[in-house]
Amino acid sequence: MERNRLDEKSKRRPSGAAVMRDEVTDALLRAFLEEWASHGYAALSLERVAARAGAGKAAIYRRWPSKVAIAAEAAEKYGKILTDVTDHGTLKGDLEAYLLMLRRALRHRLVGKILPDLYAEASRGSELVPVLRDLSVSRRQGGTSLIERAVARGELRAGIDRELAMDMIPASLYWGMIVTRRRVTRIQLQRLVDALLAGLKAI
């Protein structure tokens, strides 16, 4: 009897501070992104992050050892949803879906501020360089599937420069929406798709 009670106790989840609740983790990540967008990474305060999330600073350090570790997890968790790389049957359909989702992401009030800051920080050789590298590798690996499907369908040649292709596809939209802050309409997006179709067949 006594042994059974001890076994039951050993199976119980720890309570109080030992439990890292998912909702608190999510709140901290959201607060981190809000603070990043508002103040930039260099001026980002973990005290403000904790206060915005309604948690103590200790809750942060139970989950992440540093500010850059939080940035890395946020980039991994949210960065992969920036683009649609599912199969839409044709290269044109794939490009349209990819750019539509990218346009939605770049319109987001947080993404539109965080991405330029991430690139700026990385260009200065900050601790965010590995974060940007991992994010870029992950997104390019996903995007390359779009190219491989088009090659398999015979829409693109097998020897296409895949690295150049992945540079071309998001570049114009990012430049227009983030650098020059232009509004990109559906008609303009369709023209961009047509231009990319011609360009990809030429490389």
Rounded distance between C-alpha atoms, residue 127 and residue 119, angstroms: 12
What average pLDDT is seen over the chain? Answer: 86
The DSSP code for 64 is: -
Rounded distance between C-alpha atoms, residue 93 and residue 102, angstroms: 14
- Residues of the chain with pLDDT below 70 are 1-20, 80-84
pLDDT value, residue 75: 86
* pTM of this structure: 0.75
| Type of residue at 77 | K
pLDDT value, residue 91: 95
Q: How many CA atoms within 13 Å lie on the side-chain side of 18?
A: 4
Q: Which two tokens stand for residue 31?
A: 């607060």
Judge contact between 138 and 82, C-beta under 8 A.
no
pLDDT value, residue 2: 47
pLDDT value, residue 195: 96
pLDDT value, residue 123: 87
| Domain parsing of the chain, residue ranges | 2-63, 78-200
Q: Which two tokens stand for residue 173?
A: 């939209």
Architecture of domain 78-200: Orthogonal Bundle (1.10)
184 alpha carbon, distance to own chain's centre: 21
CATH class, 2-63 region: mainly alpha
The DSSP code for 18 is: G
Which one, of 40, 74, 79, lies nearest residue 60 by Cα? 74
